[in-house]
Amino acid sequence: MNVQYHKIKNKSYQNVWDFQTLLHNDLKSQKKAFLKHSDYIKAKPNFLNHLLFCEHNHVLTFGKSASESNLITSKETLTQSNVELFSINRGGDITYHGPGQITGYLIFDLELLYRDVHKFVRTIEECIIQFLKIYEINAFRLKDFTGVWLGDPHNLRKICAIGVHLSRWVSMHGFGLNINTDLSYFNNIIPCGIQESNKTVTSLSQEVGREIDLNLASIQLKEIVLDVFGLNELKF
């Protein structure tokens, strides 16, 4: 499956949201051009899919199941502090994106891979787990909690949040992986609605005790995503 990689920095969430939506709708339109769905499946057209890595400005995003009670700081205070707020169509509750974080958007036609949302999310988690091994960190999945975790039952730390949306089996949204993220911004929310005292958030830099080269980390993670999903990167 062909994919184009995009790296975006210092763009408002609205700009990236609009671009992601444009790519998502374009891929769906190509699928709609087939008069019969059976013809599409038989042809297995090599449409261009997209992988976006973004370093956002400070923003809180509210998923479809988000609860206002999980917002600790008032919207007025956040706006005055230049933190954007957006309600979006991914699954999940409230999360934070910002500088020092790799926010990945996967705009894939899953029908060319598999019609299995659970497998898709687990595969994203596997990409993150493999990436963290490069830094000698043993990460894992946690039953009943989407995302990637570190630690032990008494001190569980979430390093990557995942939330996706699908339409006509074309995916959008993806993950937020904390690299050099300022974790104090998570104090404005109850991240992902998880209130258990033994579950917190962390970053790669906090775990290894040094700042990470974000450009290198992006390259490393991109290569893992391409390999795990079996993608062929097309460069323009």
What pLDDT band is residue 88 in, cutting at 50, 70 and 90? confident
What is the reported pLDDT for 159? 97
Kindly tell me if the per-residue pLDDT of 195 is higher than 80.
Answer: no
User: Measured between alpha carbons, how far is 73 from 21 in angstroms, rounded to an integer?
Assistant: 29
What is the reported pLDDT for 35? 59
What pLDDT band is residue 67 in, cutting at 50, 70 and 90? confident
Domain that holds residue 159: 2-233
Kindly tell me if the per-residue pLDDT of 49 is higher than 80.
Answer: yes
Number of domains forming the structure of the chain: 1
User: Measured between alpha carbons, how far is 206 from 197 in angstroms, rounded to an integer?
Assistant: 19
Q: Which of 73-77, 132-136, 216-220 has the lowest mean pLDDT?
A: 73-77
Structure tokens at 63: 């998923």
Mean pLDDT of the chain: 90
Mean pLDDT of 146-152: 94
Whole-structure pTM value: 0.92
Mean pLDDT of 80-109: 91
User: Measured between alpha carbons, how far is 134 from 126 in angstroms, rounded to an integer?
Assistant: 13
**From the CB of residue 112, how many other CB atoms can be counted at a distance below 10 Å?**
17
Of the residues 54, 127, 160, 192, only one is catalytic, namely 192
Residues making up the chain, counted from first to last: 236
What is the reported pLDDT for 153? 87
User: Measured between alpha carbons, how far is 198 from 145 in angstroms, rounded to an integer?
Assistant: 13
Tens-place pLDDT, residues 153-180: 899 999 999 999 999 999 999 999 999 9
Tens-place pLDDT, residues 102-144: 999 999 999 888 899 999 999 999 999 999 999 999 999 998 8
Q: Is 192 annotated in the active site?
A: yes
Kindly tell me if the per-residue pLDDT of 34 is higher than 80.
Answer: no
Looking up tokens 């013809």, which residue turns up?
Answer: 39
What is the reported pLDDT for 192? 64
> H or E element: which one contains 96?
strand 94-97
Tens-place pLDDT, residues 183-193: 999 998 776 66
Kindly tell me if the per-residue pLDDT of 63 is higher than 90.
Answer: no
Here the CATH number for the domain that contains residue 65 is: 3.30.930.10
